[in-house]
A and B are shown apart, each in its own frame.
Chain A
């Protein structure tokens, strides 16, 4: 929120595109869900959560476009496994935890960063840093937009 002005130079358009896509996706989800009876069981809720999260990531990646490696990776991941979104997350966290204490010298951090940034496994370090910068900007914009949507729709 504080850095909104910083971001205005570049990703306002990305923000707009993201919010449009995201809201469209949520609408689609809602249209699907409205048919079901209101009290959702936990499994449904979880499914819905994952769907929304995937929608958020995918719409962000689509808004960014195919120029960035991370957006390509995100889209690839989502396309490859739309069914199970939980597993890789937990695995990823576990791997990061295991790698982190191993190395203090920057290599461990580098590996962890590679795992954090989607698609970062196969880049050289400089490219990874580039992608990380862009990814951070986009994530920030995403968080802002989602917060606004939430704020707007809930509070």
Chain B
């Protein structure tokens, strides 16, 4: 016993460091532990050694919770064994200290009614083989602890160990539910608690063949992860799959709300199609818009003004729509003119992004003497024919103004727009103010 303990401690410590445990080490240590326990059946000896174990663990500066764990174990010599085992678990799983008192509670209870639990354990061994993927794998931990307790008495070692280690891997993330589980298990007997734990995994309607008799007389727990409807498959894989599908469909619903026109479509494939189309169209829109921006901007300097306005205005208001509003405030007075400028820039760049643009460009590019056609097409009421030099002067003054004035006046922007227009086409231009 004394020789076995340090080794086991060593195993435990190494295991606690790494989340994925070395199975062989653990099994070996556990077997040793059990053999020693079988050899020495006197509780007092356990007692002392448990204390020694706790002390040594504490000196090895591991969880403080171990001391707490070992204290209730020291009170009752019998469940001390289980405490040792649960120490083992906790060590391997790196559990927090908070849950340890609760963990220690079900253990004495398992001791109180041994004959039932042996059967329950057999059922669990069969049931727990594939449980690590299921959500409620944490429940298996408690039951595994109980099983441990009886395994030391009943000498069913190997199979249980294997199933347990499978579970332990799945256990780690489910720690938060311990308290609820414990409250459940307190209300029922030990067999009841084990059966309810199994039910949490399995669903109430259909249990495995071995535990059918047991689960029937047990009250339902109020905390259920997954519930299988009648006729649905209840093995852990299909349960996990069902959970996955539910989450996916939830996300799909969210996406359905997000994508316009996706509400009518039923069926995942159609929805996915719609989503793909929408994403694609948005991406194309971005590309198209960037193309347009590339077509418009290159020689125009007023993006800086744009930027200035944006940085001055929405930086304080921190709201984008105000920009749009202000832009719209500016624009209507110069709308026609600006549209003309836009079209002309399009012609200059020969970017045919839009059929409308193309046609307009044709109409524009056909006559070289532009102004008359422009006047007709734009149907401006007040038109001033200005010379190029005048315009430029006007413009520069405007721009100067604008660069100075942080206030958002419609005037400077008209000026910049005009500049863009005129740098493109050096001829007489319609100008509205």
Q: Which residues of A contact B (CB under 8 A)?
A: 2-4, 12-13, 15-16, 19-20, 23-24, 26-27, 29-30, 33-34, 38-40, 45, 48-49, 51-53, 55-57, 104-106, 109-110, 112-113, 116-117, 125-126, 129-130, 132-133, 135-137, 139-140, 142-155
Contact = CB atoms under 8 A, between A and B. Distances in A.
11 contacts: A4-B321, A16-B314, A23-B303, A40-B349, A49-B294, A49-B295, A106-B268, A112-B272, A133-B254, A151-B324, A153-B296
Nearest to A60: B286
B303 A27 contact: yes
B310 A116 contact: no
Contacts of B244: 126
Given A4-B321, A113-B276, A26 B303 contact: yes
A153 B286 contact: no
A117 B255 CA distance: 14
A132 B292 contact: no
Given A23-B306, A136-B279, A109 B289 contact: no
A2 B261 CA distance: 13
A109 B273 contact: yes
Nearest to B299: A38
Interface string B242-278: 0010011001101100111000000011001101101
Contact of A109 (B247, B260, B272, B341): B272
Contact of B310 (A23, A45, A110, A133): A23
Interface in B332-366: 335, 338-339, 341-342, 345, 348-349, 351
A130 B251 contact: yes
Given A16-B318, A155-B342, A140 B307 contact: no
Given A132-B279, A153-B300, A49 B269 contact: no
A129 B270 CA distance: 15
Contact of B290 (A16, A52, A113, A132): A52
Contacts of B296: 150, 153-154
Given A49-B291, A53-B286, A137-B258, A30 B301 contact: yes
Contact of B303 (A57, A105, A139, A153): A153
Is chain A's binding surface mostly helix, strand, loop or mixed? helix
Contact of B293 (A105, A142, A146): A146
Contacts of B304: 27, 30
A-B interface, 10 closest residue pairs, ranked by CB to CB distance from nearest? A109-B272, A129-B251, A139-B282, A152-B327, A146-B289, A53-B290, A49-B294, A23-B307, A52-B290, A154-B342
Given A113-B276, A139-B286, A150 B318 contact: no
Contacts of A116: 276, 279-280, 283
A91 B254 CA distance: 30
A110 B323 CA distance: 38
A12 to B, nearest CB: 7
A19 B306 CA distance: 11
B294 A45 contact: yes
A143 B289 contact: yes
Given A12-B320, A154-B296, A155-B339, A136 B259 contact: yes
A45 B351 contact: yes
A148 B324 CA distance: 6
A143 B280 contact: no
Contacts of A26: 293, 297, 303, 307
Contacts of B311: 20
B208 interface: no
Given A12-B318, A49-B290, A136-B259, 19 more contacts: A12-B320, A20-B310, A26-B307, A27-B304, A34-B298, A38-B299, A53-B291, A56-B286, A106-B272, A126-B247, A133-B251, A135-B279, A136-B279, A140-B282, A143-B282, A151-B324, A153-B297, A153-B302, A155-B339
Contact of B349 (A12, A45, A51, A147): A45
Residue with the greatest number of chain B CB neighbours at <10 A, chosen from A52, A104, A113, A117: A52
A110 B424 CA distance: 48
A133 B258 CA distance: 7
Nearest to A130: B251
Given A16-B318, A113-B275, A136 B258 contact: yes
Interface string B40-76: 0000000000000000000000000000000000000
A53 B380 CA distance: 36
B255 A15 contact: no
Contact of B269 (A24, A45, A105, A151): A105
